[in-house]
Structure 1
Amino acid sequence: MKRDENCIFCKIVAGDIPASIVYEDGNVIAFADIGQVTKGHTLLIPKDHQPNVYELQEDTASQLFRVVPNIANAIKKEFNPAGLNLVNNNGEAASQSVFHYHLHFIPRYGTEDGFQPTWQDNSSKYSAEELQQIAQGINQHL
C-alpha cells in the first residue's frame, strides 16, 4: 500500500494521528471531519495514497463507492438530514487542501446550515450542437 509520510490522511490510516472512525475495512476508512461543516460531516478515503480523482485507480474507486450507500444511510439514520451532499475537490483551484483522495459526506439541514455551494445555470450559453461537441471531445479520451 502506497503511503506519503507527509500526508495527514496517511498518518490517520497508519494510526499515527487519532481520528473518530466511522467505518474501516482493509481498503478504505471513513472518519468524522474535524471541521464538521454540518453535524455528521464524514470523510471517506482509500488507505492507499492516491492524490486525486485523476490518479485514482479503478479498483480503488470501486472499493470506495461500494461503501458510499452504507455510510450515507448510516448518516441519514443517525441525524435525519433533509439532504446530503457528496463532494470531492480535485486540485487547488477546486479547493482541495489535503492531496489524498477523499469524499466528503455533508448532511444538509436547510439553507442556513453553513454549507452554501453555488451552482450557476449556464444552459442558455450552450446550443445543442455545442453540448454535442463537448460530449464528443470528452468521449474521445475515454
Structure 2
Amino acid sequence: MPDYDPNNIFAKIIRGELPCHKVYEDDRVLVFLDIMPRAPGHALVIPKNAARNILDVDPDDLAHVARIAQKVARAGMQVFDADGITVQQFNENAGGQVVFHLHMHVIPRKENVAMKPPATEKEKPDVLADQARRLAAAMQTL
C-alpha cells in the first residue's frame, strides 16, 4: 500500500489551508459537507490524525470516526427529514477511494430519490453554508 500523502486535500482542510463548510470538530475528527453532494446534507467525517484508509488507521481513531458518523446520521435524519441514511467508506483505487485520507460519507436519503452520481455537480456555497449551520445546530442537541 502506498504511503500517506500529507498534502492530500483533506489534510490541507484539517490544517486550515483550504476552506470547508464545517459541521463539527473536536480534537480527533472534523466533519464537513461534500462540495459535490450526492444528496442534500452529504457530510464527510474524517480523523485528524494521518490515516490513508481503514487499512492503516489507528483503531481508536476509527472508533471515534464511527461514533461521530452516527451522530451526524442522527442529525441528518432530523434536519433533512430523511427516510434513511447511506454510509459509505472506500479503500484504495480498486475499492473506489479517490481522496487518500480516511473518510466516511454520511448521506441523508429520501424514499424513491436516487443519489446523484459521484463528483458531478458542485453545490452553491450559500446552500452548503445553510446546511452546515443546520446540521451543526442539530449535532449540539444530540
- Report the TM range for the smaller structure's normalisation: 0.7 to 0.9
**Higher-RCO chain (CA-CA 8 Å, sequence separation at least 6):** 2
Deviations 1:31-86 (A, max 9, x none): 00011100000000001110010101111112212222211111111001111111
Map residues 6-85 of structure 1 onto 2, 5 A cutoff.
6-85=7-86
Pick closer, same or farther for the CA change 1:70–1:112 going to 2, 3 Å. Answer: closer
SS at match of 1:86: strand
Q: Distance in 2 between matches of 1:15 and 1:35?
A: 20
Asked whether the 8 Å contact 2:38–2:115 carries over to 1, the reply is yes
The match for 1:104 is: 105
Amino acid at match of 1:39: P
TM-score scaled by length of structure 2: 0.75
Question: How much does 1:4 deviate?
Answer: 4.0
Q: How many residues align?
A: 114
Name the amino acid aligned to 2:36.
G
Cα-Cα RMSD: 1.6
Note the C-alpha offset of 1:112: 3.3
Task: Give 2:55's aligned amino acid.
Answer: Y
Consecutive unaligned residues of structure 1, counting only runs of 5 or more, are 117-142
Between the aligned partners of 2:116 and 2:88, the Cα distance in structure 1 is 11
Q: What is the CA-CA distance between 1:5 and the residue it aligns to?
A: 3.6
Q: Give the whole-Å Cα distance in 1 for the aligned partners of 2:73 and 2:94.
A: 27
Distance 2:15 2:56 in 1: 21
* TM-score normalised to structure 1 length: 0.75
What percent identity do the matched residue pairs reach? 35
2:78 & 2:20 partners in 1: Cα distance? 22
Note the residue ranges of structure 2 that are not aligned, 5 or more in a row.
Answer: 118-142
Deviations 1:1-38 (A, max 9, x none): xx844210000001110000010000000000011100
